[in-house]
């Protein structure tokens, strides 16, 4: 039997001493963690800032995800927000509410998950706060450097532009459903499809390098992180830009077909419908949706436009629309939403 050391057995300083050494620091930090504030350099003085929360029992379950998984998720969903603005993620600041009977080893694993996500991107974890409470609650603030560029906005889409996407679609939703139905991932080097999908739910994989490359090359107009499902986030982009967004579902077929074996394994009565719904409405993939910053005549000539690396064209901005409109193959979307934290059915059931 493993002998755990619990959070309630340590002072705040003792607990910090256990996990702070596991965290990466922002490159060139003027004042790192350990003072009242960290002080960080920014190349042009403009900082993109966003805050997100993860609550145990709502966004994650400790019987489904390790501390390392939760640390990865906490980092990546905030990093994706910064990148969606075209900003290079520089630093995370993290607040933690921790139950007294939580093993300290879980907190250390959480720190390792943060480092797994942040260190390869040169992003630091440079401060935060600890409090005691009834369940694990995580607040993360990301600071991003715009590197002299204007921020990418949801409201910048123009009629005639190509609608483009990079990243996973529907895989996190499928992984969540597998866990909800009692499936367990395989252990070892022979991961099956179910195991890979569960991993994509536990550890979303935003394509940060491709998105930042497109931003730095000036190839994007409007841009948004797809965290709440393709249709819901396309609707946000359409409303902000006051345009009609038309999605070509034929282009989504590879993502849908990849989920069909799982749909059948789950015993879904209509596997194709279930797979399409995952692709169109599944949240937590943290891919990116945007429009190609090219004039209509260059984007739609006799040749297919050259897209940023890793991106796929999945539709078109058809025309201006005061209220914002999203269609699938020209037909209005009916009965398809996406993840909504305040919907009655939301939660890590």
In the chain, which residues fall in CATH 3.30.1330.10?
7-145
Span 7-145 CATH architecture: 2-Layer Sandwich (3.30)
* Homologous superfamily, domain 161-332: PurM-like C-terminal domain (3.90.650.10)
HSE-up (13 A, CA, CB side) for residue 137: 9
Query: Can you read off the two tokens belonging to residue 111?
Result: 């720190």
Query: Can you read off the two tokens belonging to residue 236?
Result: 């946000």
Q: Model confidence over 15-28: pLDDT tens digits?
A: 777 877 887 777 77
Q: Check pLDDT > 60 for residue 297.
A: no
Q: Range with the lowest mean pLDDT among 232-236, 330-334, 343-347?
A: 343-347
Binding residues for substrate: 59, 284, 339
Q: Check pLDDT > 80 for residue 344.
A: no
Residue 253 has a pLDDT of 96
HSE-up (13 A, CA, CB side) for residue 65: 31
Q: Model confidence over 201-213: pLDDT tens digits?
A: 999 999 999 999 9
Binding residues: 36, 50-52, 59, 81, 128-129, 154, 225, 227-228, 284, 339
Say if strands 325-328 and 331-332 run parallel, antiparallel, or are unpaired: antiparallel
Residue 305 has a pLDDT of 63
Write the CB contacts of 35 (distance below 8 Å, at least 6 apart in sequence): none
Binding residues for Mg(2+): 36, 50-52, 81, 129, 225, 228
Give 288's DSSP letter.
Answer: E
Q: Check pLDDT > 90 for residue 294.
A: no
pTM, whole model, 2 decimals? Answer: 0.88
Q: Check pLDDT > 90 for residue 111.
A: yes
Q: Which residue has the tokens 């399409």?
A: 276
Q: Range with the lowest mean pLDDT among 82-86, 126-130, 227-231?
A: 126-130
Binding residues for ATP: 128-129, 154, 227
Q: Model confidence over 7-55: pLDDT tens digits?
A: 788 876 687 778 778 877 777 766 566 555 556 677 777 888 888 999 9
Write the CB contacts of 265 (distance below 8 Å, at least 6 apart in sequence): 194
In the chain, which residues fall in CATH 3.90.650.10?
161-332
Residue 319 has a pLDDT of 95
* Enclosing H/E stretch for 313: strand 312-320
Residue 345 has a pLDDT of 44
Under DSSP, is residue 31 helix (H, G, I), strand (E, B) or coil?
strand
Mean pLDDT value across residues 73-92: 95
């Amino acid at each position: 039997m493993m002998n755990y050391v619990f959070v309630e057995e340590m002072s705040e300083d003792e607990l910090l001493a256990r996990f702070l050494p596991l965290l990466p620091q922002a490159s060139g930090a003027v004042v790192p963690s350990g003072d009242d504030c960290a002080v960080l350099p920014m190349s042009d003085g403009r900082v993109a800032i966003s805050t997100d929360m993860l609550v145990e029992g709502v966004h994650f379950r400790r019987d489904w995800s390790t501390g390392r998984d939760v640390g990865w998720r906490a980092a990546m969903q905030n990093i994706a927000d910064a990148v969606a603005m075209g900003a290079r993620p520089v630093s995370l600041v993290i607040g933690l509410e921790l139950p007294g009977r939580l093993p300290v080893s879980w907190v250390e694993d959480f720190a390792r998950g943060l480092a797994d996500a942040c260190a390869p991107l040169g992003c630091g974890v440079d401060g935060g706060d600890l409090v005691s409470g009834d369940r694990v609650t995580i607040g993360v603030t990301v600071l991003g450097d715009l590197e002299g560029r204007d921020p990418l906005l949801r409201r910048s889409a123009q009629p005639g532009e190509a609608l483009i996407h990079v990243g996973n679609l529907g895989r996190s939703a499928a992984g969540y459903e597998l866990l909800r139905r009692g499936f367990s991932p395989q252990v070892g080097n022979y991961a099956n499809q179910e195991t890979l999908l569960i991993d994509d739910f536990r550890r979303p994989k935003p394509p940060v390098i491709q998105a930042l490359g497109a931003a730095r090359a000036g190839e994007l107009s409007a841009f948004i992180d797809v965290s709440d499902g393709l249709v819901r986030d396309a609707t946000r982009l359409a409303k902000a830009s006051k345009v009609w967004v038309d999605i070509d579902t034929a282009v989504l077929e590879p993502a849908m077909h990849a989920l069909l074996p799982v749909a059948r394994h789950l015993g879904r009565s209509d596997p194709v419908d279930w797979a399409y719904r995952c692709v169109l409405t599944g949240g937590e993939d943290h891919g990116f949706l945007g429009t190609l910053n090219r004039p209509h005549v260059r984007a739609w000539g006799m040749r297919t436009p050259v897209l940023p690396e890793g991106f796929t064209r999945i539709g078109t901005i058809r025309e201006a629309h005061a209220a914002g409109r999203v269609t699938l193959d020209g037909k209005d979307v009916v009965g398809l939403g996406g993840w909504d934290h305040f919907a009655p059915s939301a939660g890590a059931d």
